[in-house]
Amino acid sequence: MSMKKKSKNPSSTIALNKKARHEFHLHDKFEAGIELQGWEVKSIRSGKVNLTDSYVFIKDGEAFVTNLSITPLNQASTHVICDPTRTRKLLLKKQEIEQLMGGLDRQGLTIVATAMYWKTCWVKLEIYLAKGKQAHDKRDTIKDRDWARQKERMMKKS
């Protein structure tokens, strides 16, 4: 008899920031680790994460994410003080931080967190250098998406 391995969730995505693609033009992609506490990892495993209002900033040559909401579990220990929106340090290489700083200073871009996912046993945060969209850019994006959907329907019928 062969033993079957337990199939893990094929999707390693924990949380997505869908609003980011609508609000920003995304340019350069970076993958950052996050410095977490034990109760945060347990909450992330149960999927209690919200990336929607998160913001990445650089201070003293280090990258931090703020407003990343990780809701504590009810079973969290009573002696641990749980702050769901505390500022967390991002783990990036010095060269990547310099690229981010260059984009912020010279090009007037911002840093947006778009996704959180598992990479083996580590939690990673996908961040982009991004530029904010104007209202007419958002309308163009919606129009292009609707046109692509209509093309698919027409191709399916014929």
What are the extents of the domains in the chain?
13-133
pTM summary value: 0.75
With a CB cutoff of 8 Å and minimum separation 6, the contacts of 138 are 22, 23
Largest distance between two CA atoms of the chain: 65
DSSP SS3 for 33? strand
- For the stretch 62-108, pLDDT in tens is 999 999 999 888 776 667 778 888 899 999 999 999 999 988 888 87
pLDDT at 30 over 90: yes
CATH of 13-133, one of 2.40.280.10, 2.60.40.1180, 2.130.10.10, 3.40.710.10: 2.40.280.10
